[in-house]
Amino acid sequence: GMFDLVIVNARVVSASDIVTCCIGVKNGKIRTLVDSFGDEEIQSARVIDAQGAYVMPGGIDAHVHLCQDLKTGPHGLGGACSDNFETGSKSAAAGGTTTVITFATQTRAEEDKSLLDVIKAYSARAEATGSYVDYGFHIIIVRNDKDVLQKEMPILRKEWGISSCKLFLTYETQRLTDSQLLDVMYEAKQNSMTTMIHAENGDMIQWLTDKLESKGMVAPYYHALSRPPLVEGEATNRAIALAQLIQNPILFVHVGSALGAKNVRRAQTIGLPVYAETCPRYFHLTWEDLKRFHSPTCFENSKMICSPPPPPDTSDQEELFVGLENGTFTIYSSDHCPFRYDHPHGKPSGVLEDPKSMEGEQYCEGDELRSLLARKEGAFRLIPNGIPGVETRLPLLYTGALAAGRITPQKFVELTSTNPAKLYGLYPQKGTIMPGSDADLVIWYPDDSFKPFNLANSMLHHNVDYTPYEGMKFVNWPRYTILRGKVIWMEGEVQGKLRDGQYVKRGPSQLVRGVSKTTQDPRRVASWLYE
């Protein structure tokens, strides 16, 4: 037939428009958008009636942690991610996401010097299980090894299609000094790689943590006090200055404070290629959630520990909403960082058990010690930072912002799909519904036919034993998720297969334009470096 799949009665949403039409899909690609199809065009195709509901480009979640084990964990505080590519990608599909970009991380261990070896190891982890959705990698760089950067960055770009690296300003095992940051940013610029920055001032955090601990303030709630908004405020300003000197685009990951957002906005106003990501938790959680459940013997609120922490109260959330609307935030990602609760490699419950009595677990000495200590004292310093959310990302934005009338459907698509595709070099293969693009789609329920429900973790598909959004009311959920023309999620059931997802090679960022004259003034920045 002319089409493999046709979707009728669709309210197709792009980053700029909404149009009611039909979609024809052939060989995994969008072939056409038309008013209506004739009988013979429909006959041999699978037909989905969207019943007037929104049809959007499939979600692109550009910040997901999978398969990071004890050694390659997200921050060197112990803890292992409980989702691999199998469970993580299934959860993504069930939440309307068709592409995830995950992290492959270098460590300071001698055998992790080579970035190419790191990427090969992560690639093997993905291939070991397969994936329900398409996937790519960002590389985390924790050393300024010029030989390695110069030799391997071009190969990462050209052979692997990896056009972004993440750098840290905090965590002892990850952080780079200012001059090390300049080294990596400089090599990244030579290779048209976007630098992603985890912007928290590591010295401030350590100093505050020591002070809190000396007063016995070690319960999970105090994690937030060790990272007040100034911590992100200082680090964003400093990284903006470093990036301006190098004139390389930067993307601030997981911006969670109004202060951080303001600094980003100021840089954008003077024409710097500065972008920011924010995450669902900053719109749905506050410091109060770190207090929830707290008692001297129960540390259930360790579930809510993430970095940067949620804002102190809802007034920050209001300012972050402005940033969503006015373009300060370029993308909205989950930062899905899956740790199980009450597990030796996850979030301690505070109830002291003999970890050895838990079957089937492997320990390294350090991790066992960490787990015991954290269980005994509930010390926030020892609790892994990160919360799950790859499956709830789109539904939370739908309920909390779109249905609440705070953003338009177009803005929803821009933040969750089009901009991540452009920022990370996947556009227009992904991120839009246009002839020639991959047929990656999410189809919602018509709003008036959906019965709102309260979320329970048992409904989710991740390998995590809790969700921070337990009990929350949702007013819609993805009805179909379609990956390159194949239905992988339908009305509450996973329909895809583990080998459906493919590795995606990415190009350079397509958002970056020439920067303004003033910001390139050779007296102000080191532009002679490139002459």
| Positions in the binding site for ligand DUC (CB under 6 A) | 74-75, 198, 253-254, 307, 335, 337, 385-386
Which lies closer to ligand DUC via its Cβ, residue 281 or residue 284? 281
Question: Using CB under 5 A, which residues numbered 198 to 227 contact Zn ion?
Answer: 198
Answer for which of 301, 349, 467, 481 binds Zn ion (CB under 5 A) is 349
Tell me which of Zn ion, ligand DUC, none is bound by residue 438, counting a contact when its beta carbon lies within the kind-specific cut-off of 5 to 8 angstroms: none
Closer CB to ligand DUC, 386 or 395, in the complex: 386
- What's the min distance (Å) between Cβ of 335 and ligand DUC? 5
Q: How far is the CB of 410 from ligand DUC (least distance, A)?
A: 28
Q: How far apart are CA 414 and CA 61, in angstroms?
A: 12
Residue number, 335 or 377, with CB nearest to ligand DUC: 335
Kindly state whether residue 83 participates in binding Zn ion, applying the rule CB under 5 A. no
Question: Can residue 336 be called a binding residue for Zn ion (CB under 5 A)?
Answer: no
At a CB cut-off of 8 Å and minimum separation 6, what does 166 contact? 103, 138, 139, 140, 141, 195, 196, 197, 198, 253
Number of helices followed by number of strands (H, E) in the chain:
17, 19
Tell me, what DSSP letter sits at residue 458? G
> Least Å distance between CB 302 and Zn ion?
9
> Which of these ranges, 44-52, 229-237, 333-341, 360-368, lies near Zn ion under the rule CB under 5 A?
333-341
DSSP β-ladder status, 441-444 and 164-168:
unpaired
Measured from the CB of residue 168, what is the shortest distance to ligand DUC in angstroms? 8
Stretch that binds Zn ion, among 15-23, 196-204, 231-239, 513-521 (CB under 5 A): 196-204
Tell me whether residue 200 or residue 500 sits nearer to ligand DUC (CB atom). Answer: 200
Q: Which of 347, 303, 349, 328 is nearest to 467 (CA)?
A: 303
Amino acid at 3: F
Pick the closer one to ligand DUC by CB: 14 or 102.
Answer: 102
Percentages of the chain per state (helix, strand, coil), in multiples of 5: 35, 20, 45
Q: Tokens for 347?
A: 């979030």
CB 191 within 8 A of CB 157: yes
CB closer to Zn ion out of 94 and 279: 279
Tell whether residue 465 is a contact of Zn ion (CB under 5 A): no
Say if residues 290 and 219 touch (Cβ distance below 8 Å): no
Q: Verify binding: residue 301, Zn ion, rule CB under 5 A.
A: no
Residue 303 touches which member of Zn ion, ligand DUC, none, C-beta under 5-8 Å by kind: none
Stated as kind and residue range, the H or E segment containing 62 is strand 59-64
How far lies 507's CA from each of 77, 163, 278, in Å? 33, 6, 23
Find which of Zn ion, ligand DUC, none residue 385 binds, CB within 5 to 8 Å per kind.
ligand DUC
Nearest to residue 441, comparing CAs of 397, 485, 402, 475?
A: 485
Please, what is the minimum distance in Å from the beta carbon of residue 364 to Zn ion?
22
Q: Which partner from the list ligand DUC, Zn ion, none does 89 bind, CB cut-off 5 to 8 Å by kind?
A: none
Q: Is residue 352 involved in binding Zn ion (CB under 5 A)? A: no
Total binding residues for Zn ion by CB under 5 A?
Answer: 5
Judged by beta carbon distances under 5 to 8 A according to partner kind, the member of ligand DUC, Zn ion, none in contact with residue 298 is Zn ion
**Residue 124 binding Zn ion, by CB under 5 A:** no
Radius of gyration (C-alpha) of the chain in whole angstroms? 23
Distances (CA, A) of 36 to 17, 50, 169: 19, 13, 54
Nearest-approach distance from CB 384 to ligand DUC, in angstroms? 8
Whether residue 308 has a cis bond before it, omega within 30° of 0: yes
393 binds Zn ion (CB under 5 A): no
Which option in Zn ion, ligand DUC, none does residue 461 bind, with CB closer than 5 to 8 A by kind?
none
Complex with ligand DUC: residue 257 or 385, whichever CB lies closer? 385
349 contact, one of ligand DUC, Zn ion, none, CB 5-8 Å limit per kind: Zn ion
The partner residues of 30 in beta bridges, in order of sequence, read 25
Q: According to the binding rule CB under 5 A, does residue 170 interact with Zn ion?
A: no
Nearest to Zn ion of 337, 426 (CB atom): 337
Collapsed DSSP state (helix, strand, coil) of residue 29: strand
Residue 85 CA to residue 83 CA, distance in Å, equals: 7
Cα angle vertex 43, ends 42, 48, to 5°? 50
| Residue number with CB closer to Zn ion (32 or 457) | 457
Q: Which is nearest to 306 in space by CA: 250, 249, 232?
A: 232
Q: Tell the smallest beta-carbon distance from residue 205 to ligand DUC (Å).
A: 11
User: Is residue 298 close enough to count as binding Zn ion by CB under 5 A?
Assistant: yes
Strand segments (E) across 273-366? 274-278, 331-332
Which listed residue (335, 414, 438, 465) binds Zn ion by CB under 5 A? 335
Q: Where are the alpha helices (DSSP H) in 215-257?
A: 222-225, 229-246
In the complex, least distance from residue 339 CB atom to ligand DUC, rounded to whole angstroms: 9
CB of 369 to ligand DUC, least distance (A): 21
Residue 75 binding target from ligand DUC, Zn ion, none, CB below 5 to 8 Å by type: ligand DUC
Least CB distance from residue 463 to Zn ion, whole Å?
17
Task: Please state the separation of Cα 144 from the chain's center in Å.
Answer: 25
Residue 347 or 479 having the CB closest to Zn ion = 347
Burial of 18 (0-12, 13-18, 19+ CB in 10 A): middle
Q: Which one-letter amino acid corresponds to residue 118? A: V
Least Å distance, CB 73 to ligand DUC, is 9
Contacting residues toward Zn ion, per CB under 5 A: 198, 298, 300, 335, 349
